Chains A and B, each alone.
Chain A
Amino acid sequence: MSTIDKTATVPAPRGGDHTGPLLEVRDLHVEFHTRDGVAKAVNGVNYSVNAGETLAVLGESGSGKSVTAQAIMGILDMPPGKIPQGEILFRGQDMLKMSNEERRKIRGRKIAMIFQDALSSLNPVLSVGYQLGEMFRVHQGLSKKDATARAIELMDRVKIPAAKARVSDYPHQFSGGMRQRIMIAMALALEPDLIIADEPTTALDVTVQAQVMDLLAELQQEFNMGLILITHDLGVVADVADKIAVMYAGRIVEQAPVHELYKRPAHPYTRGLLDSIPRLDQKGQELYAIKGLPPNLLKIPSGCAFNPRCPKATDLCHTEVPPLVPVTEQDGTELPGRKSACHFWKETIHG
């Protein structure tokens, strides 16, 4: 891994001799010890991302999608958070076993994160040029002048108009979409191998959302990065993801390539979600609504966590936790990349 002195072009494949996925999460558990008891936020999550691939993690509030990302970044508040078991392998090395110093080296340089709220993620009293340049000064020891030059280059890269003139502006002088671009520029500054974007466009307007998602997808291809996109919006995911992991109550309930998931969901929760969104191109009748409430993490239902809300739940679902198993065609042919954690996945996908 050389320091980055080349300006752009496709640097793939990067990063040494490790073959296999760029990032792999194995059986990750996270819990929070609160006054009211132990909240089990993540209960055995497995997923992996390759270089150049986009994994969308889809879930509602309390599904554990953001907590998983925080655990990967190493920015989980501990305590009250705790990781009782699991592995997070970055290029084959378990980050949970690394020293703080080693993790710090990975954070920002190899794995970067983009947050939902760009305004509170930027320091309001420093100019954006200074904040962008800081990455180069601290990590690469560039001079102030060179760092500013690089900052302008980055701002150009994320298509901020008149970058040169705006480099000394402060965050509040930019609009929401522009601020999110600056956040993206910051995440890209050290050309990381993996970017985790936590609801990057949720706070933005639709017309700006499209611009920012396009930019992110374009840059990801250009740098051949892995991207983990965390969102609750089925629409946003459909645009950019390669594969999707649907989370519910801290577990992955379904995993599939993007087109497959929308066409034939293999888990009643996914199906319910898809059915409950109104369509833009036609006026439907009454919306399908998943009954009940998202689960209480202090007291996750026994068996399948979705059973109180599931229209198909049987006694089996109340007692047995369904494992995440590969999904096959009716004739037994394997469907690559597809998994479902439902006792009745066959009925759900083929029914």
Chain B
Amino acid sequence: MAEPSKTNEAGAVSEAEAVAAIDAPIQRGEPILQVRNLQKHFPLTQGILFKKQVGAVKAVDGVSFDLYQGETLGIVGESGCGKSTVAKLLMNLERATAGEVFYKGQDITKLSGRALKAVRRNIQMVFQDPYTSLNPRMTVGDIIGETFDIHPEVAPKGDRRRKVQELLDVVGLNPEYINRYPHQFSGGQRQRIGIARGLALNPEIIICDEPVSALDVSVQAQVVNLMEKLQDEFNLSYIFIAHDLSIVRHISDRVGVMYLGKMAEIGTDVQIYDHPTHPYTQALLSAVPVPDPEARANRERIILTGDVPSPANPPSGCRFRTRCWKAQDKCATEVPVLAVPERFRGLDTPAAHQSACHFAEEKDVVHAS
């Protein structure tokens, strides 16, 4: 794994150098994005004119992972686990409280101005709700074309209409729809428009925050297929955030499982789905309703008790311990680190992947026994 360049730590890189670094090409198989100990704490305040901080919601509390060129990294977790906040931090829509996100050696959490704009050209986002992510008062042509107004260097003025129509064609929409407004489209079509907007700048990374969860089942498959097709065509790297574990498995090369602002387990799709070692992953997988009543009957189900604790006041030690059936005293005092568990270290088994549990143990919950 390439270490991020040291120059920027001194903060001495000029804006021009940063832009040059960002625009440079990258090899397939290299980490394109390195996330290190990312944190986001939302302050809880009291008072009207003079605000006083009374606590913090630790939405993201020390998340690290790499994204490789051309791969899809899935991030799964329940509501409130911080997965959407991670997306916002990676897009610089929220400022990180601490931690770094290295993109081609540049820590993008500290960039601004021209350098940040250059990063935005290469990292784009597809939003969850196709009904709210398109400005209802702009035509489809304006929505996609706006990207070229903001980054005029990408497409010369006279060429923009043609480019927009090309993009519509790429995502499978009729290019003649360019003058229509979002409310004239169905949910699936709107999500295609959102994807076209994300593609307009020809980015390297697209962060997808629940891109299909608002769509009908029959349309979900269309959009997932489209995203896979585009990935091959444009050599994109995806971060695919979702709560639907089946879809994440389908599209991802590697998967990270988040719980209460921390990464619980991360590995390839086979490692996570077929050889999970973290109890939370196991419970999550076993709870997924499977559209096959017979396989269902043979599967072991782990039903967790209780709800996810509040991120404003997370449990000490391991955050999952309040719902974990394996929890012992150690779990309350010692925070488990995200690493290959000791018992699997050096072994050539799919269970040897990073898992933040003191008592990591392999358990297949997906396949009928």
Which residues of chain A in 184-226 are interfacial with respect to chain B, using CB atoms and an 8 Å cutoff? 205-211, 213-214
Which residues of chain B in 311-369 are interfacial with respect to chain A, using CB atoms and an 8 Å cutoff? 366-368
Contact A239 B289 (CB under 8 A): yes
**Chain B interface size, under 10 / 10 to 19 / 20 to 34 / 35 or more:** 35 or more
Contact B288 A234 (CB under 8 A): no
Residue of B nearest to A278 (CB): B250
Contact B287 A206 (CB under 8 A): yes
Which residues of chain B in 170-227 are interfacial with respect to chain A, using CB atoms and an 8 Å cutoff? 186-189, 216-222, 224-225
Q: Decide if A119 is an interface residue (CB 8 Å cutoff).
A: no
Tally of chain A residues near chain B (CB < 8 A): 48
A213→B270 CA distance, assembly (Å): 29
A81→B203 CA distance, assembly (Å): 47
Known: A206-B243, A281-B366. A273 touches B218 (CB 8 A): yes
A-B CB contacts (within 8 Å), total count: 135
Q: Decide if A61 is an interface residue (CB 8 Å cutoff).
A: yes
Known: A278-B247, A281-B273, A293-B189. A206 touches B288 (CB 8 A): yes
**Contact partners of B301 in chain A: CB under 8 A:** 210
Which residues of chain A in 280-337 are interfacial with respect to chain B, using CB atoms and an 8 Å cutoff? 280-281, 283-284, 286-291, 293-294, 309
A283→B272 CA distance, assembly (Å): 12
User: Which residue in B187, B291, B305 is a CB contact (below 8 Å) of A277?
Assistant: B291
**Contact partners of A237 in chain B: CB under 8 A:** 291
**Contact partners of B78 in chain A: CB under 8 A:** 205-208
Shortest C-beta distance, A300 to chain B (Å), equals 15
Q: Decide if A85 is an interface residue (CB 8 Å cutoff).
A: no
Known: A236-B289, A259-B293, A281-B367. A286 touches B228 (CB 8 A): yes
Known: A205-B243, A293-B189. A283 touches B249 (CB 8 A): yes
Q: Decide if B246 is an interface residue (CB 8 Å cutoff).
A: yes
Contact A207 B304 (CB under 8 A): yes
Contact A276 B246 (CB under 8 A): no
Q: Decide if B79 is an interface residue (CB 8 Å cutoff).
A: yes
**Contact partners of A206 in chain B: CB under 8 A:** 78, 243, 245, 284, 287-289
Residue of B nearest to A296 (CB): B186
Shortest C-beta distance, B292 to chain A (Å), equals 6
User: Which residue in A178, A262, A294 is a CB contact (below 8 Å) of B307?
Assistant: A178
User: Which residue in A211, A259, A280 is a CB contact (below 8 Å) of B249?
Assistant: A280
Q: Decide if B290 is an interface residue (CB 8 Å cutoff).
A: yes
Residue of A nearest to B187 (CB): A61
Residue of B nearest to A233 (CB): B289
Contact A235 B218 (CB under 8 A): no
Contact B216 A280 (CB under 8 A): no
**Contact partners of B61 in chain A: CB under 8 A:** none
Q: Decide if B9 is an interface residue (CB 8 Å cutoff).
A: no
Known: A206-B245, A278-B250, A287-B250. A177 touches B293 (CB 8 A): no
Contact A262 B303 (CB under 8 A): no
Shortest C-beta distance, A257 to chain B (Å), equals 10
Residue of A nearest to B291 (CB): A234
User: Which residue in B221, B289, B295 is a CB contact (below 8 Å) of A288?
Assistant: B221
Contact B250 A207 (CB under 8 A): no
Contact B287 A210 (CB under 8 A): yes
A175→B301 CA distance, assembly (Å): 23
Contact B303 A273 (CB under 8 A): no
Shortest C-beta distance, B359 to chain A (Å), equals 19
A194→B246 CA distance, assembly (Å): 33
Contact A280 B303 (CB under 8 A): no
Residue of A nearest to B78 (CB): A205
Q: Decide if B230 is an interface residue (CB 8 Å cutoff).
A: no
A262→B289 CA distance, assembly (Å): 14
A235→B244 CA distance, assembly (Å): 11
A29→B13 CA distance, assembly (Å): 69
Q: Decide if B236 is an interface residue (CB 8 Å cutoff).
A: no
Q: Decide if A232 is an interface residue (CB 8 Å cutoff).
A: yes
Contact B291 A286 (CB under 8 A): no
Known: A278-B250, A281-B366, A289-B221. A239 touches B296 (CB 8 A): yes
**Contact partners of B307 in chain A: CB under 8 A:** 175-178, 208
Which residues of chain B in 11-32 are interfacial with respect to chain A, using CB atoms and an 8 Å cutoff? none
Contact B217 A232 (CB under 8 A): yes
Q: Decide if A274 is an interface residue (CB 8 Å cutoff).
A: yes
A3→B190 CA distance, assembly (Å): 52
A205→B258 CA distance, assembly (Å): 13
**Contact partners of A161 in chain B: CB under 8 A:** 306
Residue of B nearest to A175 (CB): B307
Residue of A nearest to B214 (CB): A61
**Contact partners of A289 in chain B: CB under 8 A:** 218, 221-222, 225
Q: Decide if B294 is an interface residue (CB 8 Å cutoff).
A: yes
A291→B219 CA distance, assembly (Å): 8
Name A's B-contacting residues (CB within 8 A). 60-61, 161, 175-178, 205-211, 213-214, 232-239, 258-259, 262-263, 272-274, 276-281, 283-284, 286-291, 293-294, 309
Could you list 21 A-B pairs, sorted by A, with CB under 8 Å?
A60-B216, A60-B217, A60-B218, A206-B243, A206-B287, A207-B287, A207-B303, A214-B303, A235-B290, A235-B291, A236-B289, A276-B218, A277-B221, A281-B290, A281-B367, A290-B222, A293-B186, A293-B188, A293-B219, A294-B219, A309-B218
With A238-B292, A280-B288, A284-B250 known, 4 other A-B pairs at CB within 8 A are A60-B216, A161-B306, A210-B287, A273-B218
In the A-B complex, list the 3 residue pairs whose CB atoms are closest, starting with the nearest.
A235-B289, A278-B250, A205-B78
